[in-house]
Amino acid sequence: MTGDSEDPNDDVQYHVELAEGDVADAVLLPGNPERIEKITQFWDDSEETAHHREYRTVTGEYDGTPISVTSTGIGSPSAAIAVEELARVGAKTFIRVGSCGAIQADMAVGDLVITTGGVRQEGTSDAYVREDYPAVADYEVVSALVAAAERLGYDYHTGITMSADSFYAGQGRPGFEGFEAAGSDELVDNLKDANVRNIEMEASAIMTLANIYGLRAGAVCSVFANRETGEFLTEGENRAAETASLAVKLLARMDEVKAEAGVKRWHPGLSLE
């Protein structure tokens, strides 16, 4: 089997070209395949297990914990394909690791945003469930990402993320020759007034699918631009990569502690020590 069939029940998945045993339980999901090296530089070891189209997968260990990363390309349609096929080969936890635009003035370029929930402005998740179904990050993933950022000493924010299907008109930017979509001049201000923290293109679909399938998901993004202050700089990728990798280790430890205590969910009465 070489991944040349699109039957979802095949051993090797059609798009990601992966089979059971190729990935760890937890998979990081950057968009850009070139971001993978920025993630795996923090790992103990890593080995590429597949590379097909935008989907490049590397599996290894971070501080003794099994971990994988799969690039998803740009946007929710391709990210949803990755979640679908990775889940079929055994992945249970997904953390988007990306970049974003902040829309609150108190957020600096290079800061991290840990998503707690999403505005489903992308259309992919609409193909799965009614539009008023919430895109919510798993609280264990949020807790692990916050703990990781705290341990590493990185500045971070938590809150609601808007995921869009369009980088230009759908995010309130002018299109070709200055084209403006209806309502685009008010989009960012309306989101800002509702205390939405940032805009990106994949998180809400990933979280929605994970919730539908009973999996864990969340997102951590580095702020590349602040739409309120006009600041722009491609900075913070390494912080997001290291934070997500450490979060996977903390999640694994949380799972061990839950098993030892005989409980199903993490709660403040448990300790990682």
Active site members: 15, 85, 173, 227
CA torsion through residues 77, 19, 41, 136, sign:
positive
E-assigned strand segments in the chain: 26-29, 45-52, 55-62, 65-70, 93-102, 112-121, 135-136, 156-164, 196-200, 216-226
Q: Left (φ > 0), alpha (ψ -120 to 50) or beta: where does 64 sit?
A: left
Instruction: Specify the 3-state DSSP secondary structure of 203.
Output: helix
Q: DSSP letters of 11-73?
A: SS-TTT---TTSS-SEEEE-S-GGGHHHHHTTSSEEEEEEEETTEEEEEEEETTEEEEEE---
CB 68 within 8 A of CB 28: yes
Please name the amino acid found at residue 128.
Y
